[in-house]
Amino acid sequence: MRPKPLVDTTIDVLKNLPSDSTIEDIMYELNLTNQVLKGLDDAENGRTITTSELLDRMQKWRKA
């Protein structure tokens, strides 16, 4: 499936926000959407790690 153009996705996010949204609300929603899209792209392109690998990394971070 071809991804939606970023401008169209941004417009959809803005249209779904309440009219009294603050700039912080808008930025939060746009950032969240961006992170989800990046994650989906990573998954589609094999840029993932297993849960075990994640737990190993976290252990190393805690020790550092």
pLDDT digits (tens, 9 = 90+) for 8-59: 999 999 999 999 999 999 999 999 999 999 999 999 999 999 999 999 999 9
34: which 2 tokens? 């961006």
Q: What are phi and psi of 43, to 5 degrees?
A: -65, -45
The structure tokens 């700039």 sit at 23
Q: Is the dihedral of CA 31, 36, 37, 42 positive or negative?
A: positive
Q: How far is CA 30 from CA 17, 40, 48, 57, 58, in A?
A: 11, 15, 23, 28, 28
Tell me the C-alpha distance between 53 and 34, whole Å.
24
Global pTM? Answer: 0.75
Collapsing DSSP to helix, strand or coil, 4 comes out as coil
The pLDDT, as a whole number, for residue 45 is 96
Confidence at residue 56, expressed as pLDDT on a 0 to 100 scale: 97
pLDDT value at 1 more than 70:
no
